[in-house]
Structure 1
Amino acid sequence: MRIFLLALTNAALLLMHDAQAKLVEEVIRVPVEAANLYGKATSQEIVVTLFRDDASTGPQPLAIINHGRAAEAKDRIALGRARYSAVSRWLASLGFVVALPTRIGYGESGGDDVEDSGSCNAKKYGPSYAAGIGQVVTVMEALRKRPDVEKERTLVIGQSFGGAMSIGIAALAVPGVQAAINFAGGGGGNPIDRPANPCGQHQMKQLFASYGATARLPTLWIYTENDKYWGPALPREWFDAFRAAGGNGEFVRFPAHGENGHGFFSAAPAEWRSTVLDFLRKNGYPTLGAD
């Protein structure tokens, strides 16, 4: 009976918290600069969406979420404003201020495509990822000036192109960044025209190896068995190249999810949350609440 009453009390407390807590969404604009593959510079403001739980008090750790890159220009414009609402809500409930930059060339930010990496048979990934990474670092620097953000506690998360960017940010040892999580990171994929056979596979491997040469922060790499952008084998090859170069990382491959596991990050957060929580508790966030 005592256990039953305790369970009821805990449930009541959770309901009270849910009733009192409110997810606050804010949209700001941050001026950034980026250069494309050919060195052409672009300067403009980009849209950044912020989420926080208004029940949280004082400065909170920052979680940056980096969106992916659609193969077609029309789909990049159709992004609108990066939000990942379910994941953002969960992170905010853990006590993070969550920031989602919509980078140059996407959705409401608009502008030139500064992240183009060239033709399929002549990929140059370094400049394209550097263009995205530079924007995100600028956003982080701006947000660290806010009174509700802890200056020395930042988590970087990314999906697809944004996942590889997150590993690139870990390689830079940006002040305040404690860990990075890569969901389905890579480049050159097209599940319709080239399923499981992305362009520039070797160049992508070289890029991850170059990140590994300087990435000493803990990183978590999450992929699925049926990712139609990369297939099952390439992600592990990329991770192994990263580790062989000295990178600090943990690789987790989940079973197949749906028709294409590439969207596992936004499609199935309930399936990966415990893995992410374990990683965070081991690497700078031991007091995070239970899943």
Structure 2
Amino acid sequence: MHRVSIWCRGSSRCWHFSQGLQKGLPLKYRSVVASPAYCPAPGRARRLLHIASREADPVMMVTTLYLPSGPGPFPLWVFNHGRNFGNPVHQARSRPDALAKVLLREGYAVAAPNRRGFADSGGRHLSHWANPLSGGLCCARDIETVVLAMAGKPYIDASRIIVSGHSYGALGTLAYGMKPHAGVRALVNFAGGLRGESDQGWQEPLRDAFRYYGRRARVRSLWLYADNDSFWPLDYARGLHEAYCEHGANAEFVNLGHFKECAHRYVLDPDGVGFWWPKVAELLREIEA
């Protein structure tokens, strides 16, 4: 079914619908400009998109988009956020500015979606740390929606896509790797996993989830962990990697070393760019060779 972008005059907001769903739009949105080739003006590096899920009753996912200057098409980097303890509705909108800044210099467009039920996106987040396999699959559903929407943009090179995630978002990224878009070149796992607040009960289910995703993996992945991450002791993180690779998945594990007091959020820290970027730059060189 043909999908179009709907842009409100005087607004940075952009909705994405199949033509069949436009009839259900609120009246105030029916006088907008509709164009399947709408491309945001490149004057500002960061803007918001509202991307609709593919259900009959679509959920809007607020996505922070960073675009390099110029007309494109640009390779695409998708960044999937983690989860704080507590109600995800109260979580801040995903804005990985430090990561986006370095990737913009490399000519990448960066899309940072807020999955359903997080921040100001619609819908409900239904997964739980006690069932990380299901949780990762829920994430993968929303990641797929965003990748497909972005791959259809005229300013995106749909043959050059990297999908990444931090913590819970990395778990979802690896789940997405079971059925990736044809243009996805690699996945990047920034300290991935999903755990409860206590130290008991989540370790084995999480290992099983990684094993399940790895058995069905269809694209290479780079795993970037640290030796002072309070969420994942390094030996446990290595065990997740071993479980993922049991059936031959192509995944490189890297211990980045020590970062500040706790390394878990290194990819979101402006001071952390030098910590993780060399390995990512190496990956990009290999992909583009």
2:62 maps to what in 1? 47
Task: State the SS of the aligned residue for 1:205.
Answer: helix
Take 2:51 and 2:128, find their aligned partners in 1: how far apart are those partners? 22
2:145 maps to what in 1? 138
1:111 maps to what in 2? 123
Structure 1 residues 152 and 158: CA distance shift in structure 2, 3 A: same
2:22 maps to what in 1? none
Take 2:190 and 2:90, find their aligned partners in 1: how far apart are those partners? 21
Corresponding letter in the other structure for 1:273: W
1:269 maps to what in 2? 273
Task: State the SS of the aligned residue for 1:255.
Answer: coil
Which digits, 9 at most, give the CA deviation of each residue in 1:52-96, with x for residues without a partner? 111x443111100000011211xx333332111111121111111
Question: In structure 2, which of residues 55, 75, 88 is the aligned counterpart of residue 61 of structure 1?
Answer: 75
Structure 1: state its 5+ residue gaps: 1-20, 35-40, 118-122, 287-291
Take 1:198 and 1:47, find their aligned partners in 2: how far apart are those partners? 34
Structure 1 residues 198 and 186: CA distance shift in structure 2, 3 A: farther
TM-fit CA distance, 1:173 = 3.3
> TM-score with structure 2 length normalisation?
0.79
TM-fit CA distance, 1:116 = 2.5
Structure 2: state its 5+ residue gaps: 1-41
1:133 touches 1:165 (CA, 8 Å); kept in 2?
Answer: yes
Question: In structure 1, which of residues 102, 108, 126 is the aligned counterpart of residue 114 of structure 2?
Answer: 102
1:18 maps to what in 2? none
Task: State the SS of the aligned residue for 2:265.
Answer: helix
> TM-score with structure 1 length normalisation?
0.79
1:206 touches 1:241 (CA, 8 Å); kept in 2?
Answer: yes
Which digits, 9 at most, give the CA deviation of each residue in 1:230-285, with x for residues without a partner? 22211100001111122111001122222211111112112111111102211x22
1:221 maps to what in 2? 223
* Aligned CA-pair RMSD: 2.0
Q: Does 1:285 align with 2:288?
A: yes
1:5 maps to what in 2? none
Q: Does 1:172 align with 2:179?
A: yes
TM-fit CA distance, 1:110 = 4.5
Take 1:132 and 1:58, find their aligned partners in 2: how far apart are those partners? 28
Question: In structure 1, which of residues 159, 165, 169 is the aligned counterpart of residue 166 of structure 2?
Answer: 159
